[in-house]
Homo-oligomer: A and B are copies of this chain.
Amino acid sequence: MRALCVVGTGLIGGSLLRAARAAGRECWGVAASDGTASAARADGFDVNTDLDAALRRAAEADALVLVAVPLPAVEGVLKRVDAVAPTVRMTDAVSVKVAVADAVATFAPRARYVGGHPMAGTAESGWAAGDGELFRGAAWVVIADDGADLDVWKDVAELAWACGSRVVPAAADEHDLAVARISHLPHLLAAVLATVGAGEPDDDLALALSASSFADGTRVAGTRPELTLAMCEGNRPALLAAVDEALGRLGVMRGALASTGGLKATVESGYLARQRWASTREPLALEVSLDGPDALAELRELGRRGDVVGGWK
């Protein structure tokens, strides 16, 4: 089992260290502050604040480096990678993938990098909120763009399995568009629905009459605003495309409602889409071949079919 060096020990990095240790892996981490490092050491983890030393140790041990810092902090980490461990095996847990791939190409171009996105989280943050079970049952996207190092791809997939996740291969740009549609857009529509539903500050009639359709449709509007903003604003180009599609469909619906009064097209399309969603809840875990020249294209195709990787020949 490959050793793991986790850079960043917040909710995601801290949970990864716990999950990796529980799976029997050698692992160490780099915290942003002495306080966090002390808290992690008090919990028995090998964590300090010396990034260069942790990266050198990763290079010597041929370990996998996992970057689990917020997007704005990625550039600084990559510059240290290029300086002290330039060809290290590397992945990340940032929730957008094109921006990180671009940063790697610019600041750590020799790193053996394969992007990742374990799709799990809570409303909490920080080392203390970490949970070794956080990733169990979650989708863990492993980026399969052309040119990806298949050796490192396997490292990331094996780590995801060790954490109890499902391995979903995808292209970086397709990942960003997908999460815009199914994660970021829901947060924005929930915010707008909550605002429209609440109406004027001195009139609570509508809220008093609201039942489960409104409660469910606005649930994620209750997420702490800074978390929603960081997630959505970091995926701006893809999110803009998703918002434009939603606006276009709402505009067509508005026109139909105003002219003929008919909502059939909108409602039936939504119903069929929800049926399709239900049919994706039990993905097939398939064994793949990672040897041929089309291995990465086949991985991406598997992800588009809604299947997951169960192993390889």
Contact = CB atoms under 8 A, between A and B. Distances in A.
A191 to B, nearest CB: 3
Q: Main secondary structure on chain A at its contact with chain B?
A: helix
Q: How large is the interface on A (under 10, 10 to 19, 20 to 34, 35 or more residues)?
A: 35 or more
B193 A189 contact: yes
Contacts of A70: none
Interface stretch (A23-31, A268-276, A288-296): A268-276
Contacts of A67: none
A234 to B, nearest CB: 10
Interface stretch (A51-59, A73-81, A128-136, A298-306): A298-306
A203 B236 CA distance: 22
A98 interface: no
A232 interface: yes
Interface in A222-269: 222-225, 228-229, 232-233, 236, 239-240, 242-247, 249-251, 253-254, 257-258, 261-264, 266-269
A263 B188 CA distance: 9
Interface in A188-205: 188-199, 202-205
